[in-house]
Amino acid sequence: MLSAMQISSERNVVRLLPPIWGRHLLHAFKCNLTALNRTVVRKPNGRPFRLLKNPRPLSKKGVPKLLERVINQGHWPDHGGYLDEDDGRFNLVERVAAHLPGSQDWLFADLKRFAQEQPTDPAQLNEAIDRTVERFGMKRMDIFASMGLYQILGERMEDIHQHTWTRLSRYDEPVHATLLTLLWAERRMRRFDNPKLRASCMSAWARFLRKEEFRRDRVHQKGGLTAIREILAFININERSRDGSAIDRIPRCHCLVWRPTKNGLKAEQLIHDFYQATLYKRLRHVISSPLHRSVPKPVNLPEGISTAVATILENVLESMSCWDHWDPTYRQASPGAE
């Protein structure tokens, strides 16, 4: 027999997230709660999952109402407190994701902290963004190379970022909307807000909430809309963050996202070295300026730097197709999401 460990009471917004996940399972498997409770909680056996066929479902008698607690009471399922007398303790979200890869994205665990109205933790936010980006086979560019590009390109860098945001907003999957939300939260935390990023974020959520399963289930749609609206509202007014280490305070929100080629990595290192070499000169300019004006962009770039910039920009644009595919396997959310 299975049992669930009770969790402490949460703010109402947090309790709106688990039902989104639970109702998605109902839509995906096209079944009722009893069938879900009998099957998706069972340990995978290496053979393809078939509802009420494989793995062997629990007996109809005394079926635990785990999904009812999630959908009706908003119990948070992403913890290891569930017990199977045959297999020991397990994580319900992880167990279900083994049968339905990608289903964990519908819980929005990385947004739980905002639903709890807790100050942003820079290290945990960075980890969540990096983990999500890696699922697309991509990475964030080296911070010093990115700052070097800002020094060379100036405001054009925001146009490049916008290209990424716009591309992400065209999808209706939860992983894309979540990533845009995390990127926006990072900007808000650093006070580098961008209206175009905010608009892309809103557009992605609008597409997500227009998915067929929401149109068929108004309760599902209303709960999702309320939860997302509250989370975005909190991010919009939240400019606080925990004190972090020096590396946490570096504005990584300036880093471009890409899948670097060999030539791209070489170009990245060139820009990194260029930025480091000119750092002392820029610091002297800032310190000596009574108004702390921004450092002027270099007029005459060293040999090879212009080519390196062109290589990076071409590589970044080629990487846009990576947003079409992502790793659906289960990934544990950052500690701050618990």
**What pLDDT does 237 receive?**
83
Q: Total structural domains in the chain?
A: 2
**What pLDDT does 282 receive?**
59
The reply to whether 160 and 241 lie within a common domain is yes
The reply to whether 33 and 165 lie within a common domain is no
What is the per-residue pLDDT across 178-204, written as a single tens digit (0 to 9) for each? 999 999 999 988 877 889 999 999 999
Domain end call among 103, 123, 150: 103
Domain end call among 103, 128, 163: 103
**Full-model pTM:** 0.88
The reply to whether 112 and 79 lie within a common domain is no
C-alpha 275/C-alpha 268 separation (Å) is 11
Beta bridge partner(s), residue 54: 50
The reply to whether 139 and 275 lie within a common domain is yes
How far are the Cα atoms of 118, 245, 249 from residue 242, in angstroms, in the given order? 10, 10, 10
**What pLDDT does 335 receive?**
47
The reply to whether 90 and 119 lie within a common domain is no
The reply to whether 222 and 265 lie within a common domain is yes
The reply to whether 127 and 222 lie within a common domain is yes
Residue 148 structural domain: 108-338
What is the per-residue pLDDT across 54-112, written as a single tens digit (0 to 9) for each? 999 988 887 888 999 999 999 999 998 887 767 778 999 999 999 999 999 999 999 99
The reply to whether 145 and 25 lie within a common domain is no
Compute the radius of gyration of the chain from its Cα atoms.
23
C-alpha 182/C-alpha 110 separation (Å) is 8
- Which residues does the chain have with pLDDT short of 70? 1-11, 85, 239-251, 280-299, 330-338
Residues 6 or more apart whose Cβ sits within 8 Å of residue 63: 34, 37, 38
The reply to whether 245 and 201 lie within a common domain is yes
Query: DSSP H helical segments within the chain, as ranges?
Result: 12-29, 33-39, 66-73, 92-99, 112-115, 122-134, 143-153, 156-168, 174-190, 195-208, 212-216, 218-237, 262-288, 305-318
The reply to whether 299 and 161 lie within a common domain is yes
Domain end call among 79, 103, 127: 103
The reply to whether 185 and 224 lie within a common domain is yes
The reply to whether 122 and 91 lie within a common domain is no
**What pLDDT does 291 receive?**
43
